[in-house]
Amino acid sequence: PVCTHCLGSGEVLISCMGDENEEGKGGFVLLDGQSFIVKGTWERKPLEFGYDYWYQPYHNVLISTEWGAPKAFRSGFNPQHVADGLYGHHLNVMDWTTHELIKRIDLGPDGKLPLEIRFLHDPTATEGYVGCALSSTVFRFFRAPNGQWEAEKVISIPPKKVTGWAMDTMPGLITDILISLDDRYLYFSNWLHGDIRQYDITDRRNPKLVGQVFLGGSVCKGGSVKVTSDPELKSQPDPVYVKGQRLRGGPQMIQLSLDGKRLYVTTSLFAKWDDQFYPELAKEGCQMYILDVNNVTGGLSLNPNFLVDFGKEPQGPMLAHEVRYPGGDCSSDIWLAHTGVKNKM
């Protein structure tokens, strides 16, 4: 199980990936919202891969993403597994009423490992964004005038040429994205490069970068990685400290407060990948910190007064992953257009 949303019916829908042999298999499990008893699968036929999803009943659609086969990602990242077709690069468009797959949108070589997907919060909107981890791109998906769902690349993070790392080029690795409740800003994390970015998306097809801050990552000064060519930065970023502690790993899962002024960040992705790229997380635990957000003109800054160190937990060190905001948040609330009522996770 991966991603959970509550439905307007009171039921709970959970996305899944993989079968008993750890092969790729996407699908959804439907739970009773009171007893949490499994009612069955939701889809008519299994998908090739699964991961995140977003649904919009007003437009009779559910769109899901693809990570890969568990036998691949559970062993750590191996580029050969991408070449072997064990990772996804499609969006799966499902009919909300019939639960049937109506289209697979191939994102191609620029859309490898589409992970987190977000519709705009406006329930009448027919568009949203998806972050593609390995390609370090963001695609806008939308319903075209002919009624077909399509996708186009709108953001691309260039890789850095490096030495002292697993490969000679390092992708940003976009692992989480979200949209502010007013549908004005898009945020995402580059887990390997170590930065979080804020884009103004009032022009939906042409996002404008208005905020960026580096928070650790794999290319900090003083580490084993040396950047030999960088189309964006003139020098490698400095290590970052909060309350006297160096930030470990890179920014990963993010969550925005309802007023759009505080962005919460955790640093663990997946234990095997943490071990591979940030082994210090297993030894010392991950962290959570806050970015203060300028949601008027744009801008991000690290809050110097807040840090949760999961390495100090009684049974730690811990690898904290998801962030949820009490009372609803920007990555789980889905609004129903005909009533104005929202479903909450």
Task: Identify the pLDDT of residue 328.
Answer: 79
Beta strands 169-170 and 160-163, pairing class: antiparallel
pTM above 0.85, yes or no: yes
Domain boundaries, the chain: 50-334
Please state which CATH class domain 50-334 belongs to.
mainly beta
Handedness of CA 62, 68, 74, 78 (dihedral sign): negative
Looking at residue 345, its pLDDT comes to: 42
**pLDDT on residue 343:** 53
Compute CA distances 200 → 21, 129, 231, 297, 335, whole Å.
Answer: 43, 13, 22, 9, 22
**What dihedral do alpha carbons 24, 27, 31, 33 form, nearest 10°?**
120
Q: How far apart are CA 174 and CA 300, in angstroms?
A: 18
Report the alpha-carbon distance of residue 275 to residue 302 in Å, rounded: 26
What pLDDT, on a 0 to 100 scale, did the predictor assign at position 329?
86
Beta bridge partners of 63: 54, 93
Tens-of-pLDDT digits for all 345 residues of the chain?
Answer: 789 998 988 999 999 999 999 999 999 999 999 999 999 999 999 999 999 999 999 999 999 999 999 999 999 999 999 999 999 999 999 999 999 999 999 999 999 999 999 999 999 999 999 999 999 999 999 999 999 999 999 999 999 999 999 999 999 999 999 999 999 999 999 999 999 999 999 999 999 999 999 999 999 999 999 999 999 999 999 999 999 999 999 999 999 999 999 999 999 999 999 999 999 999 999 999 999 999 999 999 999 999 999 998 888 899 999 988 887 788 888 887 865 455 544
